[in-house]
Amino acid sequence: MTFFILLLPPVIASILALLVYPYRAFVGWVNAALGLVSLAAALSFAYQAVASGTLTASTIQNAPTFGVVIDSLGLVDVLRADSLSALLMVCITGVGAMTLFLSPGLWHDQHYTQAQLRQYQIFFNLFLASMLLAVSANNVGLMWVAVEATTIFSAFIIPLKLSKTSIEASWKYILICSVGIALAFTGTVLSYFDFVTLSGRAENALNWTVLLQTAPQLHPEVIRIAFIFLLIGYGTKAGIAPMHTWLPDAHSESPAPLSAAMSGVLLAVALYAILRWKIVVDAALGSSYTNNLLLGLGTLSIIIASFSMVLSKNYKRLLAYSSIEHTGLTCIGLALGPLGIFAALLHMLNHSIAKSMLFLLTGRILHHYNTTEISKISGLLKAMPLTAGLFATGILAIIGLPPFGIFISEFLLLKAGFSNGYAWLMGFILALLAVAFVVLLRVLNKMLYGNPPADISAEEPDRTQGALLFLSVTGLVVLGITLPAPLATLLNQCVVIIAH
Amino acid sequence: MSGYILEVLQSILAIILAPGLVGLVRWFKARLQNRRGAPPWQPYFELVKLFGKEMVVSTNASWIFHAAPYLVFASAISVTLLIPLIAVPLPFDSIGDLILVVYLLLVGTFFLSLAGLDPGTAFGGMGASREMTVAAIAEPTIAVAIFGLAIGAGSTNLGRIVAATLVNPGVTISPGHLLAFAALFIVTLAETGRLPVDNPSTHLELTMIHEAMILEYSGRYLALMEWASWLKLLIFFTLLSNLFVPWGLALVLTPAALAIAVMTLVLKLVFFAAVIAVMETRIAKLRLFRVPELLGVSFVLALLAVTSSFLLK
Amino acid sequence: MNDYVFSQLSTLGSSIVLIFGILLLWRRSVSAYISSFRWQSIVLTCVLALIAYLGHDPELYLVAGFMFILKALVLPHYLNQMRIRLGVTREIDPYVNNASSLILAGALVLLAYVITRPLMQISSLPTRNGIPLAMGLIFVGLFVILSRKKAVTQIVGFLVLENGVVLLAALATYGIPLIVEIGVFLDVLMGFLVMQVLVYRIQDTFESIDVNQLNQLKH
């Protein structure tokens, strides 16, 4: 039942936007309220997960799962939520609600036409719905369909403002991500093939729970090949190098709330997909195979991202490369055993909050200054004090300074790396993080101080809208100072699911 | 002993049939183009005419020029001794197999090119270089395509390949065989100088390959060169038909079986002559830089044939 | 005997499907690409129907039907509309020229054989011999996307890649569960429609659909 409360509001929002022609502002507000409904449902899932206490290896399969049986179509246990799904659901709905409240068209925003706003509301809500479906699906085929749907829906609204660059970004995005997803599908087919040769065909053969159960008997060679396809496929959507080339373009060219959602949660959803498969493959092969792959690709992502950040001249692209870097960090964390996984999941949560906040702020900066080039922006403190303050907070958070959450998660990650014997690798990563640190601080310096260009007014529009972002800051500070007990329980449950 | 006599007879049969085959192709083409055309036995008269004519040899020509016609003709005849023309197995099977056949064909091509280069004319050099471009991809493709068949038969011996197909008829529709057939068909067009690779009836600089190399020849040398190229056409048609559809070949050396074998051979040759004639009427010659692409396709098909046969054993 | 015939026919069908894919690397004109894709889909439908008949799996008939309607009728129609409206005729000067592309395609098929050896060894289905060909088609589709410059060619390459995956699923497991298969088809259709819209927009803003021109976004 809760599943419907979770999944239906974005769909209803989208249908509402479709029906109301021409677009009216109330549509945006109603959709934002519906976003809150989804958030409530996600929180209820999380509460149920936490309330069931600590998990042990033997109870993983049974609890807590809130399965849904749709017998009429012969599908068994199509939707399922456990602690890991609950964590992702909270992330998605949280960032989703935030971006819905700050979407174009609300708060006297005059930058888009009515047709564009309607298109945005329709597809953005469908995008949210498909992300939620991806993390609620027990059937890995359905998960695949949902992830592909996210690509398609977001591709509609990346070129919301038509220009050469936005169309180029959108084309690269849809082509590269569709190819990646097709490869992920190949991986899914290969593991289904493995299952079928073992146990014959069954309707629920693509259910994750069933795959996990039969995992120890699956053939190692086939699963190895399948995982490579899956890693490359879903890794393309997650922004793991070397399949990341679409990311800076797409995230920098799309409207700010969409960039926030994509950077904040879409990458997390793709990582979730990889994680689900990692659990199955680890049960079949032992964890060293996937760990090595994740370590390698994660390190490569951080290297490429750090050096690209040095060269970047566009502040949105800079943040996009920072997303790639953090994805790389999360991958490395996932490869470092239970402590590393804990750190990685916490990092995913922190990054969602921080990055979405940052992108939403860049939207405000862009609308005010009308340029995305770093060199043309200065005097942010004087021209837009609220935004500047929040932006500075966000940047300081994302580079890993205390008292923000990312400091804690990066610290735990490095600690896990050192305790697993990867001292040299951790040292190298620290150096790369330092590069990112320096670059982002330099950019922040350039943008904040000095005098604003002559033609920029010092009047900050829509301050109330910006004030909403204080919520994100609060979240980051809370996570930076303390780890609330429910969250710790939830994360520990996830670790048990992943690394039992 | 009778086997060896059969070999010689087989070779003579091929030599006699070759001009008739080419005449038939030209006659079919003419009829398709709504012309009356010369009768199918016209090439015989051409040969008789050429043997009677006086030869004019360039002063720049060396011994290669004089030796090449004999060498090319000899290589063609020697191949006819090794292919399953009318009966299988053949006594020469122990000496020669697929690899030797490919090398003998290559020897012929090699000396033909040298003969084109030898007199030092522009056309000859041009023809030789074009021929080498084509041969560079076509010759390995022959080997690889027939190798695909050989893997299934367990031997590169052409006689045994045929025997294997006769024993197991279902293998004729196997992907390996069909792909090898397609590859070999394209190579036939390339090696025998038919459209779309080369036009056998043109003397335009833009389009000729084989004709360019033999442009300097006259008299009996020209007769031998032409006869050798017609013999190559017959050889390739025989390979196409008897390796892939070997029914009709004599398995015992009785006159009845041999008669049937000769008749089926003639039927198959007529069929292929018709196919080639229809193709030549319908398609245009490819531009020269696109010929390697076509041959690349045939090479890939041959490669697929080998992998199909190899991994599906 | 039945199994033997089944095996040979399915492998034959898969080889023809693969060859239509390799044709994309040989021909130059965009209308040739579209008709290769159409014929490939038709042959693929026949292979699916064959597997449904000889493998006793009636669900595959539905899948074959969807495949025929979607990929042999609907998509080529839209592709041809695109071709006419955009006025694009030839893929001149790709990143890898045609002759080398063909040889690389041969190498990719060999690679596919090597990768899928373990799969062939553990499977006992009569159709398993076609698995390397399906994998080869996936690689060839990927190669077409990477080495060609016109956006329409890249779309056709993507559709060929999807064909390869469907073929792989059919040969290896007689098809994945129907619901997922339908989801896949819908995704392909929607993905294609989005790509179509984008290509028209590319044409309108860039005055050409040479993806080489899409180089504004750097650093």
What tens digit of pLDDT does each residue of A6-55 get?
A: 888 888 888 888 888 777 778 888 888 888 888 888 888 888 777 776 55
pLDDT tier, B312 (very low <50, low <70, confident <90, very high otherwise): low
Q: Is pLDDT at A470 greater than 70 in this prediction?
A: yes
Instruction: Write the pLDDT tens digit of every residue in C198-216.
Output: 888 888 877 777 777 777 7
Identify residue A453 by its one-letter amino acid code: P
Query: How many A-C residue pairs are in contact by the CB < 8 A criterion?
Result: 136
Task: Provide, as residue numbers in chain A, all residues whose Cβ is less than 8 Å from the Cβ of C194.
Answer: 152, 155-156, 174
pLDDT at A63: 44
Residue of C nearest to B312 (CA): C129
Whether C contacts B, i.e. 3 or more CB pairs less than 8 A apart, is yes
- Provide the pLDDT for residue B228: 95
| Residue A397, burial from CB neighbour count under 10 angstroms (0-12, 13-18, 19+) | buried
Distance CA A425, CA A296 (A): 10
Radius of gyration for the alpha carbons in chain B, expressed in angstroms and rounded: 19
Can you give the pLDDT at residue C201? 82
Q: Do chains A and C touch (3 or more CB pairs under 8 A)?
A: yes
Instruction: Assess contact for B57 and B268: CB atoms under 8 A.
Output: no
Task: Give the domain range for residue B288.
Answer: 2-311
**pLDDT of C173 strictly over 90:** no
Mean pLDDT of B210-238: 92
Contacts of residue A161, defined as CB under 8 A and 6 or more positions apart, other chains included, come to A112, A116, A255
Q: Please tell me the predicted confidence (pLDDT) of residue B29.
A: 92
Could you tell me which of B71, B65, B70 has the C-alpha nearest to residue B121?
A: B65
User: pLDDT per residue over B276-292, tens digit each?
Assistant: 999 999 888 888 888 88
3-class SS of residue B274: helix
Q: For residues A174 and A165, give the distance between their C-alpha atoms in angstroms, rounded to a whole number.
A: 14
Please give the pLDDT value at position B270: 94
Across the interface, whether the CB atoms of A178 and C191 are under 8 A apart is answered: yes
**CB nearest C103 (choices: B170, B296, B304):** B296
CA distance B295 to chain C (A): 8
How far is the CA of A206 from the CAs of A74, A190, B62, C173, in angstroms?
Answer: 13, 11, 76, 12
Q: Say if residue A214's pLDDT is above 80.
A: yes
Neighbours of B59 (CB within 10 A): 5
CA distance C46 to chain B (A): 16
* Cα dihedral B12→B13→B14→B16 (10° resolution): 80
Partners of residue A75 on adjacent β-strands: A70
**Residue A130: what pLDDT?**
93
Domain count for chain A: 1
Residue A423 pLDDT: 87
Model confidence over B57-80: pLDDT tens digits?
Answer: 888 889 999 999 999 999 999 999
A192 touches chain C (CB under 8 A): yes
- Flag whether B touches A (3+ CB pairs, 8 A cutoff): no
**Structure token pair of residue A33:** 């309220």
Question: Between these two residues, A133 and B2, which has the higher pLDDT value?
Answer: A133
Please state, as a whole number, how many other Cβ atoms lie within 10 Å of the Cβ of residue A461: 16
Mean pLDDT along residues A468-476:
85
Q: Lowest-confidence range among A489-498, C175-184, C187-196? A: C175-184
Of B74-83, B250-259, C38-47, the poorest mean pLDDT is in B250-259
Q: Mind telling me how many Å the CA of C217 is from chain B's nearest CA?
A: 35
Flag whether pLDDT at A76 surpasses 70. Answer: no
The proportion of chain C whose per-residue pLDDT surpasses 70, expressed as a percent, equals 99
Contact call for residues A429 and A299 (beta carbons, < 8 A)? yes
Beta bridge partners of A79: A68, A137
Say yes or no: C113 contacts chain B, CB-CB below 8 A: yes
Yes or no, beta carbons of A175 and C145 under 8 Å apart: yes
Shortest distance between the Cα of C210 and any Cα of chain B, in A, equals: 23
The total number of residues shown for chain C amounts to 219
Chain B residues in contact with C105 by the CB 8 A cut-off are: 300
Rounded to whole angstroms, the Cα distance separating B71 from B112 reads 9
pLDDT, one tens digit per residue, over C108-117 is: 998 998 898 8
Range of the domain at C84: 2-205
The predicted structure's pLDDT at residue A355: 93
Q: What is the pLDDT of residue C29?
A: 87
Across chain A, what does the average pLDDT equal?
A: 85
Name which of B86-90, B116-120, B291-295 the model is least confident about: B86-90
Please give the tally of structural domains in chain C.
1
Q: Are A403 and A475 in contact (CB under 8 A)?
A: no
Flag whether C12 is in a domain: yes
Q: What percent of chain A has pLDDT over 90?
A: 32
pLDDT in the model for residue A294:
93
B/e letters for B157-181, b = 16+ CB within 10 Å, e = fewer, are: bbbbbbbbbeeeeebeebbbbbbbb
Q: Which pLDDT tens digit goes with each residue over A328-346?
A: 999 999 998 889 999 999 9
A297 part of contact set with chain C, CB < 8 Å: no
* Dist. CA C164–CA C47, nearest whole Å: 12
Q: Do A174 and C195 touch (CB under 8 A)?
A: yes
Average pLDDT, rounded, for chain B: 88
Q: How far apart are CA A351 and CA A402, in angstroms?
A: 14
Residue to mutate among C128, C188, C198, with most A CBs inside 10 A, is: C198
How many domains does chain B contain in total?
Answer: 1
Shortest alpha-carbon distance between residue C98 and chain A (Å): 22
The distance in angstroms from the start CA to the end CA of chain A is: 29
Q: Give me the residue from B170, B293, B304 closest to C15, CB to CB.
A: B304
Q: Does the pLDDT at position A437 exceed 90?
A: yes
Q: Phi and psi (nearest 5°) for A23?
A: -65, 140
Record: contact C142-A179, CB cut-off 8 A: yes
pLDDT for the residue numbered A71 = 47
Higher confidence at residue B91 or residue A226? A226
| End-to-end Cα, chain B, rounded Å | 37
Q: Is residue C214 part of a domain?
A: no
Reported as a pLDDT band with limits 50, 70 and 90, residue A272 is: very high
Among B174, B300, B308, the residue with its CB nearest the CB of C105 is B300
Rounded CA-CA distance C52/C62 in Å is 9
What integer pLDDT is reported at residue A306 of this predicted model? Answer: 92
Dihedral over Cα of A188, A191, A197, A201: its sign: negative
pLDDT of residue A58 exceeding 50: no
Dihedral of the alpha carbons of B263, B267, B273, B276, in degrees to the nearest 10: -140
In the block, tokens 């990646």 appear at A180
Local confidence band at A1 (pLDDT 50, 70, 90 cut-offs): low
Q: Which pLDDT belongs to residue A74?
A: 47
Cβ-Cβ contacts under 8 Å, C124 against chain A:
197
Greatest mean pLDDT among A342-351, B289-298, C124-133, C172-181: A342-351
**What confidence tier does A484 reach under pLDDT thresholds 50, 70, 90?**
confident
Residue A459, number of CB atoms within 10 A of its CB = 8
Q: Residue C44 — very low, low, confident or very high, per pLDDT cuts 50/70/90?
A: very high
Contact C22 B299 (CB under 8 A): no
Q: Which of A206, A308, A312 sits opposite C180 (nearest CB)?
A: A206
Lowest mean pLDDT, pick from A156-165, B176-185, C207-216 = C207-216
Note whether B184 and B239 are within 8 A (CB): yes
C22: nearest CB among B174, B292, B300: B300
- pLDDT over 70 (residue A67): no
Residue C182 in domain: yes
pTM of the model: 0.84
Distance CA B98, CA B180 (A): 14
Kindly list the residues from chain B whose CB atom is less than 8 angstroms away from the CB atom of residue C117. 311
Q: Is the peptide bond before B43 cis (omega within 30 degrees of 0)?
A: no
Confidence of residue C35 (pLDDT cuts 50, 70, 90): very high
Tokens of A12: 């209803």
- The pLDDT of residue C89 is above 80: no
* Cβ–Cβ below 8 Å for C169 and A189: yes
C92 in any annotated domain: yes
Q: What is the pLDDT of residue A433?
A: 92
Interval A344-378: pLDDT, tens: 999 999 999 999 999 988 888 888 888 888 888 88
In this structure, what is the dihedral angle of CA atoms B162, B165, B166, B169, given to the nearest 10 degrees? -160
C106 and B179 within 8 Å at the Cβ level: the answer is: no
- DSSP alpha helix (H) spans, A2-113: 2-19, 25-51, 83-101
Alpha helices (runs of H) in A72-163, residue ranges in sequence order: 83-101, 114-136, 140-157
Domain that holds residue A175: 2-498
Residues 6+ apart with CB under 8 A from A197: A219, C122, C123, C124
Region label for A111, one of left (φ > 0), alpha (ψ between -120 and 50) or beta (otherwise): alpha
For chain B, the residue count is 313
Whether A467 shows a pLDDT value over 80: the answer reads no
> By CA distance, what is B289's nearest residue in C?
C99
Q: What is the pLDDT of residues B228-237, one digit of tens each?
A: 999 999 999 9
* Within-domain flag for C37: yes
What distance in Å separates residue B79's CA from the closest CA in chain C?
A: 29
Find, in chain C, the residue whose alpha carbon is nearest to that of B172.
C8
The 3 state secondary structure assigned to B50-110 is HHHCCCCCCCCCCHHHHHHHHHHHHHHHHHHHHCCCCECCCHHHHCCCHHHHHHHHHHHHH
Q: How far is C127 from chain B (nearest CA, A)?
A: 11
Put simply, the answer to whether C219 touches A172 (Cβ < 8 Å) is no
Output the CA–CA distances (angstroms, integers) from residue B180 to B307, C6, C9, in the order listed.
11, 21, 16
CB contact under 8 A, C180 and A145: yes
Please give the pLDDT value at position A72.
45
Inform me whether the C-beta atom of residue C118 falls under 8 Å from chain A C-beta atoms: yes
Residue whose C-alpha is closest to residue A453's, from A389, A387, A375? A375
For residue B22, which of B279, B281, B272 has the smallest C-alpha distance? B272
Do the chains contact at A178 and C217, CB–CB below 8 Å? no
In the predicted structure, residue B46 carries a pLDDT above the cut 70: yes
| Residue of A70, A140, A165, A197 to mutate for C, most C C-beta atoms under 10 A | A197
Region A249-269: mean pLDDT is 90
